[in-house]
C-alpha cells in the first residue's frame, strides 16, 4: 500500500499528477513507479488517454482522491476527442481507459490517428503560470488546457504558450516526466501573429477548453442538421440544401485569414475535391478533428454551447406562419390569415421564392429570404388579383368615380394594372365576411358544377377553364380535390420496337457522307467515333447502341484513325484510303457502298 500521494491540481493533466508522484518518490527506475501505481511495470505512460485507471484508483483510493469518472472527464483528452465522434465511441473509449483492455486501439477508436492535424510535439507551458505555480504551490505542473491541440494562448495572461524541452510522446514510453522550472525554461521565441489572428486564437482556445471540461451529448445527425440550418440561414446553401461551395470557401478564408488556418493546420482549397471544408458540409461518413468543427461553428458566430440548438430546426426563409395578406381590397388586409407559403428556387439567383395566396384569390410572391420584419409586407410580383380585388376596382372607378391614378394609389398598384382591369366585367359580389368552412363548401360546389358542365374534360383541362378555382382548392383542400376530380385515363401502351437492321442500313450511308466531309475538310481533323457522332448529330446513339449496328460498327472501325495516326498525317488529304472501304456484309448479303 502506498504511504503518500500528491494532491491533484485544478486543470492538471492526469499524466502530470502521476509524474509528480514519480518525482517525489525518488524511484530510480520508472518500472518501480509503474508497479507502485498499477501493480505491474509494463504500463505505458500515455499523456492524453491513459488506461488501467480502475487499477490505479484501487491502489490510491485511501488518499480520498476524486473518482475515475472525474479523472477521465476533467484531467484527460477524453471529452476533447470524443464529443464530435460517432455514437458509441465515447463509451468504448471510456471503457478502454478504465479497464485497459484495448490500449493499442484507443486512439484509433477516436479517429485521431486518421486525422491530418498533428498534436503538439512538446509539452507546453505559460511562463507566467509557471512562476505563479511555484510561488503558490512550490512546484509547477503540466496544465491540461495548454496541451490540447489548437490552444496556442494562455487565456489568463493572454500570452502565447512556449514549448518545453520535454517531448509530448517521450522516447521512453514507460516514464512519467514532471514539469519543472528547468524543463519549462525555453529560450526559443514564439511565432508572432497579427492582431486578428490573436483574437481568433483566444476565441478558439476558449471553446476548446470548454469542450474538454464539459459534457456535450451530440449526435452525428444532430451536428449535420445544425450545420445545414446555419448554412441556409447565412445564405451558403439553398432551401434544398445545396451548398455554394466556392462562396463558402472564399468567405471562410476571408473570415479567418490564411495565417490562422495555417497555424491550426486547416487550410482551405476550394479546387481540391477532398478539401475538409467541403466534406464537413456533406453527409458525415468519417469523423473530423475537433479543431475543424470549432472553426466551422465559430465561422457562423456560434459557440460550442449554442450551435446544437439548431439540430431540430427547419430553415424557413420567410419566417413562421401565418403570413399577412397584402390584398388592399380585402377586409383582412395586412392581417396574418395565410397559413402556408409555397417555397421554390429562383432559377437565376438560386434564392428562395415564396408564393402566398389568400382565401380571396389574391396571390403574390417575393424573393427571399426575409431579413427584417418589414420584408413580410413586401410584394415582389402579383400573380393573381382575384375577383374581390377586381370588384373593388370597379367600385372605385365606376362607383366612386375615382381617377385611374387615385385608384392605383388606393389599391397600391401601378396605373397600367388599373387600366387593364378597369373595364373588365366581373361577377364578383361585394366582399363578405364569411367563415372558412362556408367558403370551402362554396368552392367545392363550384368545382363539382364545373365538372357537370364539362363531363368530357380531364382534370388538367378543367384547371385551364377555371385556374383560380383550381388553385384555391389545390392550396386549401388538395386531398378533396384529388378524390373529386376526373381520374386519369389509362391508354394501352403501343409497342414501338426499333427496326435495327433498317436503322443500320440508313446510318452507315449517313456516316459515309459525313466521313467524306471530314477527310476533305480544309483543316485536318481526327476522324474518330466521337467526331463522326457529333457530325451527324447522333453521338448518343453510337455510344449506347453500336452493338446493335454491326455494319455501322464495322465501317467506323475501318475509317477511324488513332491519335498517333492522325498526328503522323497518314490520312490527311488521302481520300483513296477510305474510298477503298466499300464491302460490308448485312444479313448475309454483300453491300457495296458508293461514294
The alpha-carbon radius of gyration of the chain (Å, integer) is 38
Highest mean pLDDT of the ranges 267-271, 385-389, 400-404: 267-271
| Exposed / middle / buried, residue 406 (Cβ in 10 Å: 0-12, 13-18, 19+) | middle
Q: Is the pLDDT of residue 572 over 70?
A: no
Q: Which residues lie closer than 8 Å to 412 by C-beta, 6 or more apart?
A: 326, 328
Instruction: Name the least confident of 10-24, 57-71, 295-309, 360-374.
Output: 360-374
pLDDT band at 491 (very low <50, low <70, confident <90, very high): low
Q: Is the pLDDT of residue 62 over 60?
A: yes
Instruction: Name the least confident of 109-113, 276-280, 462-466, 554-558.
Output: 109-113
| Exposed / middle / buried, residue 54 (Cβ in 10 Å: 0-12, 13-18, 19+) | middle
Among candidates 53, 114, 59, 58, which has minimal Cα distance to 81?
A: 114
For cell 503538439, the residue is 120
Q: What is the pLDDT of residue 78?
A: 94
Helix crossing, 53-60 with 89-99: angle to 10°?
50
* Residue 161 near residue 124 (C-beta atoms within 8 A): yes
| Exposed / middle / buried, residue 522 (Cβ in 10 Å: 0-12, 13-18, 19+) | exposed
Phi-psi region of 339 (alpha: psi -120 to 50; beta: other; left: phi over 0): alpha
Q: Is the pLDDT of residue 340 over 70?
A: yes
In angstroms, the CA 358 to CA 332 distance is 10
In angstroms, the CA 275 to CA 267 distance is 9
- Output the CA–CA distances (angstroms, integers) from residue 72 to 80, 113, 381, 531, in the order listed: 11, 20, 60, 67
Q: Which residues lie closer than 8 Å to 289 by C-beta, 6 or more apart?
A: 112, 115, 117, 149
Kindly report, residue by residue over 241-273, the tens digit of the pLDDT. Answer: 889 999 999 999 999 999 999 999 999 998 888
In angstroms, the CA 512 to CA 130 distance is 87
Percentage of the chain exceeding pLDDT 70? 90
In angstroms, the CA 58 to CA 77 distance is 22
Residue 446 has, within 13 A of its CA and on its CB side, a CA count of 16
Omega prior to 415 cis, within 30 of 0 = no
For cell 424573393, the residue is 367
Q: Is the pLDDT of residue 27 over 80?
A: yes
Kindly report, residue by residue over 350-370, the tens digit of the pLDDT. Answer: 788 889 888 778 888 888 888
Average pLDDT score over residue span 328-333: 83
Average pLDDT score over residue span 169-177: 89
Q: Is the pLDDT of residue 532 over 70?
A: yes
Among candidates 266, 116, 134, 122, which has minimal Cα distance to 190?
A: 122
Whole-model pTM? 0.65
In angstroms, the CA 95 to CA 92 distance is 5
Kindly report, residue by residue over 65-76, the tens digit of the pLDDT. Answer: 899 999 999 999
530-553: b (≥16 Cβ within 10 Å) or e: eebbebeebeebbeebbeebbbbb
Phi-psi region of 158 (alpha: psi -120 to 50; beta: other; left: phi over 0): left
Q: Give Dmax over CA atoms of the chain in angstroms.
A: 109
Helices (H), 423-499: 436-453, 459-465, 467-476, 478-483
pLDDT band at 594 (very low <50, low <70, confident <90, very high): very low
Instruction: Name the least confident of 373-382, 549-558, 567-576.
Output: 567-576
Helices (H), 184-244: 195-213, 220-233
Q: What is the pLDDT of residue 570?
A: 55
Q: Is the pLDDT of residue 559 over 60?
A: yes
Q: How many CB atoms lie within 10 A of CB 236?
A: 20
Q: What is the pLDDT of residue 590?
A: 38
Element (H, E) at 37: helix 30-38
Average pLDDT score over residue span 569-580: 50
Q: Are strands 342-345 and 352-357 parallel, antiparallel or unpaired?
A: antiparallel
Q: What is the pLDDT of residue 507?
A: 85
Amino acid at each position: 500500500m502506498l504511504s503518500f500521494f500528491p494532491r491533484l491540481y485544478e486543470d492538471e493533466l492526469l499524466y502530470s499528477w502521476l509524474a509528480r508522484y514519480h518525482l517525489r518518490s525518488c524511484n530510480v527506475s520508472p518500472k518501480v513507479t509503474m508497479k507502485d501505481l498499477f501493480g505491474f511495470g509494463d504500463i505505458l505512460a500515455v499523456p492524453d488517454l491513459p488506461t488501467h485507471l480502475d487499477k490505479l484508483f484501487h491502489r490510491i483510493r485511501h488518499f480520498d482522491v476524486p473518482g475515475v469518472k472525474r479523472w477521465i472527464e476533467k484531467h484527460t483528452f477524453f471529452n476533447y476527442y470524443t464529443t464530435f465522434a460517432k455514437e458509441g465511441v465515447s463509451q468504448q473509449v471510456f471503457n478502454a481507459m478504465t479497464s485497459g483492455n484495448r490500449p493499442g486501439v484507443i486512439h484509433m477508436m477516436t479517429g485521431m490517428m486518421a486525422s491530418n492535424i498533428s498534436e503538439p510535439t512538446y509539452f507546453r507551458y505559460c511562463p507566467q503560470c509557471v512562476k505563479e505555480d511555484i510561488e503558490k504551490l512550490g512546484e509547477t505542473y503540466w496544465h491540461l488546457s495548454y496541451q490540447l491541440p489548437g490552444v496556442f494562448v494562455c487565456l489568463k495572461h493572454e500570452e502565447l504558450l512556449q514549448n518545453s524541452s520535454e517531448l509530448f510522446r517521450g522516447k521512453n514510453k514507460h516514464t512519467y516526466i514532471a514539469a519543472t522550472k528547468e524543463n519549462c525554461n525555453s529560450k526559443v521565441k514564439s511565432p508572432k501573429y497579427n492582431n486578428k489572428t490573436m483574437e481568433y486564437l483566444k476565441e478558439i482556445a476558449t471553446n476548446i477548453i470548454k469542450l474538454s471540461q464539459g459534457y456535450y451529448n451530440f449526435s452525428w445527425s444532430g451536428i449535420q442538421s445544425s450545420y445545414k440550418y446555419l448554412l441556409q440561414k447565412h445564405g451558403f446553401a439553398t432551401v434544398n440544401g445545396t451548398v455554394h461551395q466556392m462562396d463558402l470557401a472564399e468567405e471562410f478564408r476571408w473570415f479567418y485569414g490564411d495565417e490562422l488556418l495555417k497555424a491550426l493546420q486547416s487550410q482551405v482549397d476550394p479546387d481540391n475535391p477532398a478539401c475538409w471544408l467541403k466534406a464537413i458540409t456533406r453527409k458525415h461518413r468519417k469523423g473530423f478533428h475537433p479543431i475543424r468543427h470549432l472553426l466551422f461553428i465559430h465561422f457562423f458566430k456560434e459557440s460550442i454551447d449554442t450551435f446544437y440548438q439548431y439540430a431540430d430546426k427547419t430553415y424557413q426563409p420567410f419566417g413562421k406562419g401565418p403570413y399577412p395578406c397584402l390584398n388592399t381590397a380585402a377586409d383582412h388586409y395586412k392581417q396574418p390569415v395565410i397559413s402556408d407559403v409555397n417555397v421554390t428556387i429562383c432559377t437565376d439567383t438560386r434564392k428562395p421564392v415564396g408564393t402566398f395566396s389568400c382565401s380571396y384569390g389574391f396571390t403574390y410572391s417575393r424573393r427571399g429570404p426575409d431579413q427584417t420584419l418589414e420584408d413580410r409586407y413586401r410584394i415582389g410580383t402579383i400573380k393573381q388579383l382575384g375577383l374581390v380585388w377586381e370588384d373593388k376596382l370597379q367600385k372605385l372607378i365606376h362607383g366612386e368615380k375615382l381617377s385611374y391614378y387615385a385608384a392605383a394609389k388606393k389599391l397600391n398598384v401601378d396605373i397600367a394594372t388599373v387600366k387593364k382591369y378597369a373595364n373588365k366585367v366581373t361577377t364578383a359580389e361585394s366582399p363578405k365576411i364569411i367563415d372558412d368552412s362556408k367558403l370551402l363548401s362554396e368552392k367545392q360546389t363550384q368545382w363539382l358544377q364545373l365538372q357537370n358542365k364539362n363531363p368530357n374534360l380531364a382534370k388538367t383541362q378543367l384547371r385551364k377553364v377555371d385556374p383560380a378555382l383550381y388553385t384555391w382548392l389545390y392550396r386549401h383542400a388538395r386531398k378533396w380535390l384529388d378524390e373529386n376530380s376526373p381520374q386519369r385515363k389509362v391508354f394501352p401502351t403501343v409497342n414501338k420496337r426499333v427496326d435495327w437492321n433498317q436503322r443500320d442500313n440508313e446510318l452507315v450511308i449517313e456516316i459515309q457522307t459525313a466521313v467524306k466531309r471530314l477527310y476533305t475538310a480544309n483543316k485536318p481533323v481526327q476522324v474518330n467515333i466521337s467526331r463522326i457522332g457529333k457530325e451527324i448529330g447522333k453521338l448518343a446513339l453510337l455510344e449506347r447502341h453500336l452493338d446493335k449496328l454491326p455494319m455501322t460498327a464495322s465501317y467506323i472501325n475501318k475509317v477511324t484513325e488513332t491519335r498517333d495516326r492522325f498526328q503522323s498525317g497518314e490520312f490527311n488529304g488521302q481520300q483513296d484510303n477510305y474510298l477503298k472501304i466499300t464491302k460490308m456484309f448485312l444479313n448475309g448479303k454483300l453491300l457495296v457502298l458508293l461514294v
